[in-house]
Copies of this chain bind each other. A is one copy, B any other.
Amino acid sequence: MNPVTLKQIAEELNISVATVSKALKDYPDVSKKTKALVKELARTLNYKPNTFAVNLRTRESKTIGLVIPVIVHHFFSNVIKGIVAQAEKKGYLVIILQSNESYELEKKQIDLLLNQRVDGIIISLANGTADFTHLKHVLEMGKPLVMFDKIAKIVPCSKVVIDDRKAAYLATQHLIDTRCTRIAHFRGALLPQNSIDRFLGYKKALLDNGLPYDPSLVYICECDDRSFEEGQENARQLLKDHNDVDGIFINTDLVAIGAMTEFNKQGVNVPEDIAIVGFSNWFMSSVISPTLTTINQPGVQMGKAAFKRLYREIKAIKKNKPIAPKVITLETELIKRESTK
């Protein structure tokens, strides 16, 4: 069965397409009687406006794009959930693409979304992204852009983040407060701002407490799909390199769980021999043994906040109002569990 059009309704009622259109949208200059007739018939015929035509006329698609490094990831799937839920409330649909942590792919995905003429884009950067012209391009096209989690400070768009530096500081301070004196750090990849910030927070906490900063205690993990294994490997290496470490602040829960597994295997007791603080508060962290002390990173909330901000900017642009980029920082908290003393 072919979808009903305004024209069909108009012919049926012997009025014009223009009037039907206006009646359905409750324009004040249509008589109540006509409105009632039109609406009644529209309902019985199950009329649905043709989105393609509406899009073409109104120049908006009521669709936004989302680019994330990986879909199969607890934090990002939580963010997706938040964005999709919030978008739906406002009548927006979400197209999702993943960059696989590749700059090239990220560029391509942005291009696809622009061609699709989405009304706005939300993105968390790939680890490999060091050039931002594709993102500036989005802004030049007059499309709102919101970054979250892995952001680029230099791009003048709104951002939804947590205070990574502060959270890392808190995590490290907690290790110090529980009498750790030789604290290692498993950091994330080199480029992402959040892994830089977490590293800086770790370092500052050490220095503020009069502990020396020792670069040889900092291990890197790419945090790709091998996170767990990276945790194991780093733990193994750490035990070889340093037998005096008594605490580790780890960039991500999954890496931390990998490390704990390795320590278990090698008979190193957590937290007695080595205390561990993770990051993100993945649900498994409260469930493994010992349960993992960690920083809560509110994924769903970040997704919601990112869409809300994007929505404001979409509205603003529609009204030709200028938009001032805003950085929204969500609260995190340290969740103390068994992996620290």
Contact = CB atoms under 8 A, between A and B. Distances in A.
A235 interface: no
A129 interface: no
Interface residues of A, number: 48
A290 B184 CA distance: 28
A337 interface: no
A21 interface: no
Contacts of A61: 52
Contacts of A283: 228
A95 B63 contact: yes
Q: How many copies does the complex hold?
A: 2
A165 to B, nearest CB: 27
Contact of A71 (B50, B84, B289): B84
A52 B97 contact: no
A48 interface: yes
Interface string A67-101: 00011111001101100110010000111111000
Contact of A287 (B48, B81, B95, B228): B228
Contact of A78 (B72, B85, B289): B72
A50 B117 contact: yes
Interface string A112-155: 10111100000000000000000000001110000000000000
A274 to B, nearest CB: 18
B115 A98 contact: no
Contacts of A97: 84, 88, 93
A52 B59 contact: yes
A77 B81 contact: no
A160 to B, nearest CB: 18
A81 B69 CA distance: 11
Contacts of A63: 95, 116
A320 to B, nearest CB: 14
A116 B261 contact: no
